[in-house]
């Protein structure tokens, strides 16, 4: 992901840094090229507009055009604007950096067991991400983790989560036939308390589209279990549809963050780049593969670095 965008921005930067002085029209030309590169990468139009305006304003300033290396300064401005768009911090202040890192990390502060509600469309990578996060919490943070599948419509989904629990070394809530998703969620919380678990993952049923029935169900589960984190898992390969889905879930659920999956695929990257700016939600993790170790904590600076090379 991001290769095409990275190449195009690289070309724009070469044009800027390969010369001494820069005129306002040079900057404007570069901004037009950046605008096209972002739109081609499928970044949402309002986000592109805002981004280009912000960069242009800073780049045509006296300080930049009159500086010894104006090209390099513009590149730095683009880099910083990209980090800002991804929800990172631009401050050199360590306290601010720590604040941003905290926003991206999982919140587990609560009386155990805390619930983490996983929401998203079918096929977005919800169950796989549950497995990845469970493994991460168990191994890196030494948490006792319980998985519960709330997908009463698809027995295969429950079996899949059971297998992932085995791989991740976490507990798995046995299935009782005939229970509703809400009943399973409540039982998961009480079993979690009885079993001395720190974290209970509630893997909600996906649907192929966002509909009221799905939303009502997930909303009721969220009310009953009071999750400390409600994560929306979205497939970054679906581009702007993923952003639209996130908006619709965000309108109904108190989402606390996003997980973007399939970053390892050859998508254009627009969803990953627009998601934060459109929804205002922090991206917490990236899914980078099918296996359980294919998970990265989100880091805006690192992603910007990956795009700009
Ligand atoms: P769910 O229906 O939302 O629970 O989706 P699943 O977890 O079953 O994932 C659907 C498919 O996407 C499976 O084949 C997963 O292996 C695959 N998948 C999930 N996350 C990633 C990822 O980050 N990268 C890749 N390449 N595949 C993923």
Tell me, what's the pLDDT at 69? 82
Which residue in 89, 47, 105 sits closest to 277, CA to CA? 47
180 is annotated as contributing to ligand binding = no
Largest CA distance in the chain: 73
* CB proximity list for 258: less than 8 A, separation 6 or greater: 231, 232, 233, 234, 246, 275, 276, 279, 281, 282, 283, 284
Question: Does the global pTM surpass 0.90?
Answer: yes
209 pLDDT above the threshold of 80: no
Instruction: Give residue-wise pLDDT tens across range 103-142.
Output: 678 999 999 999 999 999 999 999 999 999 999 999 999 9
What whole-number percentage of the chain has pLDDT above 70? 97
Left if phi > 0, otherwise alpha if psi is -120 to 50, otherwise beta: which for 2? left
Neighbouring C-alpha atoms within 13 Å toward the C-beta of 256: 18
Which residues are paired to 283 by β-bridges? 258
Tell me, what's the pLDDT at 86? 92
Tell me, what's the pLDDT at 308? 87
> How much is the average pLDDT of 17-40?
88
Ligand 1: which of 1, 125, 134, 156 to mutate, judged by most atoms within 8 Å of the beta carbon? 125
Which residues are paired to 297 by β-bridges? 285
Q: Kindly indicate the confidence band of residue 91, based on its pLDDT and cuts at 50, 70 and 90.
A: low
Ligand 1: which of 127, 158, 160, 290 to mutate, judged by most atoms within 8 Å of the beta carbon? 290
Output 63-72 pairs: Cβ under 8 A, ≥24 positions apart: 64/22, 64/27, 65/21, 65/22, 65/23, 65/24, 65/27, 69/17, 70/16, 70/21, 70/22, 71/13, 71/16, 71/17, 71/18, 71/19, 71/22, 72/17
Tell me, what's the pLDDT at 63? 74
Residue whose token pair is 């507990």: 171
Centroid of chain to Cα 105? 11
134 is annotated as contributing to ligand binding = no
Query: Which range is least confidently modeled, 86-95, 124-133, 229-238, 286-295?
Result: 86-95
Burial status of residue 298 (CB atoms within 10 A of its CB: 0-12, 13-18, 19 or more)? buried
Respond yes or no on whether ipTM tops 0.90.
yes
Check pocket membership of 53 for ligand 1, CB cut-off 6 A: no
Q: Where are any strands of DSSP class E within 83-135?
A: 114-119
Check pocket membership of 128 for ligand 1, CB cut-off 6 A: yes
106 contacts 284 by C-beta, under 8 angstroms = yes
Instruction: Give residue-wise pLDDT tens across range 143-180.
Output: 999 999 999 988 899 999 999 999 999 999 988 889 99
Check pocket membership of 267 for ligand 1, CB cut-off 6 A: no
Query: Which range is least confidently modeled, 19-28, 45-54, 71-80, 116-125?
Result: 19-28
The radius of gyration of the chain from alpha carbons, rounded to an integer in Å, stands at 22
236 is annotated as contributing to ligand binding = no
Q: Kindly indicate the confidence band of residue 198, based on its pLDDT and cuts at 50, 70 and 90.
A: very high
Residue 207 CA to ligand 1 centre (angstroms) = 14
Check pocket membership of 236 for ligand 1, CB cut-off 6 A: no
Strands 283-287 and 295-297: antiparallel
């Amino acid at each position: 992901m991001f290769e095409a965008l990275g190449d195009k921005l690289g070309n724009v930067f070469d044009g800027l840094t390969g010369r001494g002085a820069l005129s306002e029209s040079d900057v404007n030309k570069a901004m037009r090229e950046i605008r096209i590169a972002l739109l081609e990468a499928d970044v949402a139009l309002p986000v592109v507009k805002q981004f280009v305006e912000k960069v242009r304003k800073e780049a045509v300033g006296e300080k930049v055009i009159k500086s010894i290396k104006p090209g390099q300064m513009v590149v730095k401005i683009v880099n910083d604007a990209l980090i800002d768009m991804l929800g990172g911090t631009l401050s050199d202040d360590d306290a601010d950096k720590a604040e941003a890192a905290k926003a991206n990390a999982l919140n587990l502060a609560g009386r155990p067991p805390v619930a983490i509600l996983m929401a998203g469309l079918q096929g977005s990578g919800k169950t796989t991400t549950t497995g990845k996060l469970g493994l991460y919490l168990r191994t890196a943070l030494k948490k006792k983790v319980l998985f519960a599948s709330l997908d009463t419509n698809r027995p295969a989904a429950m079996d899949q989560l059971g297998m992932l629990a085995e791989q991740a070394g976490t507990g798995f809530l046995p299935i009782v036939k005939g229970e509703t998703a809400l009943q399973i969620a409540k039982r998961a919380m009480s079993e979690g308390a009885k079993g001395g678990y720190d974290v209970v993952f509630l893997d909600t049923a996906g649907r192929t589209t966002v509909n009221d029935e799905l939303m009502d169900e997930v909303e009721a589960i969220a009310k009953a279990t009071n999750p400390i984190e409600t994560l929306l898992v979205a497939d970054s390969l679906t581009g702007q549809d993923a952003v639209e889905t996130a908006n619709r879930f965000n309108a109904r659920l108190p989402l606390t963050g996003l997980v973007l999956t399939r970053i390892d695929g050859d998508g254009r990257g627009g969803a990953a780049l627009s998601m934060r700016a459109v929804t205002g939600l922090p991206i917490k993790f990236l899914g980078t593969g099918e296996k359980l170790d294919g998970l990265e904590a989100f880091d805006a600076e690192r992603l910007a670095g990956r795009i700009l090379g």
